[in-house]
Amino acid sequence: MGNFLKSVIFDFDGLILDTEWPEVQAWSELYQNLQIDVDPQWWTFGIGRGPDQDPKHPFEFIPPDIRQTLDKNEVIAERWDRRRELVEKEAPLAGVSDLLEALRSSQIRIGLASSSSQNWVKGHLKRLDLIHYFAAIACAEDVKLTKPSPDLYLKALEDLDCQPENGLALEDSPAGCQSALAAGLRVIAVPNRLTSTMQFPPVQEIWSSLSGKQPADLARILQ
């Protein structure tokens, strides 16, 4: 007899909402304007991680001779505004809204663990009219270390009053999967168009999307 599913903890960026490709697009537009050839995979290391885990800022991919002609703060602010403009055009990724509703109807508690800030996550959840589904939201400022450290998932589990053996994590990135696994959770990876080329740690299953998924599909992982 396996454990029963009590809580499901979602990642945010790239799992609920595609905020990662707009970041690549925003910076790629600048690189193109500067006639710089940068592989879009530059962003993959930072996916799922907070700023404390990211070793290289996108600005640093600009050659030094060009960087010195630019105002770094101004460039970063412009790219942030462009990313936000692109993200605000995005709808939830396939299957997310239906799965959230089905989990709530099944009385399975829903949490969220994100290396992004509370303002970023909650702002978009409110815009998408999804925030009411979440009983716990753990973000970067709530822990000492972001993913791949287990701290965010441990915080979410604590707030949900759930033991790891009764929880399941949904993640789109290797760093996020490492974080959830280290917290003792079973994990379903749902790679997106940017993370699909990355090497994932051993997880319970890898799905192409959440489209058509039901609570029973998640609960089966714990059996």
Give the domain ranges of the chain.
7-17+92-222, 20-87
According to the model, what pLDDT value does residue 40 have? 67
- Tens of pLDDT, residues 130-180: 999 999 999 999 999 999 999 999 999 999 999 999 999 999 999 999 999
Tokens 């690549």 sit on residue: 24
Where b means 16+ CB within 10 Å and e means fewer, 127-142 reads: eeebeebbbbbbbbeb
Residue 51's pLDDT band, with cuts at 50, 70 and 90, is: low
**Domain spanning 7-17+92-222, CATH class:** alpha beta
According to the model, what pLDDT value does residue 223 have? 85
Q: Which of 11, 18, 151, 159 is catalytic?
A: 11
According to the model, what pLDDT value does residue 1 have? 42
Q: Which two tokens stand for residue 116?
A: 């992004």
Told to judge if 13 belongs to the known catalytic residues of this protein, a careful annotator would answer: yes
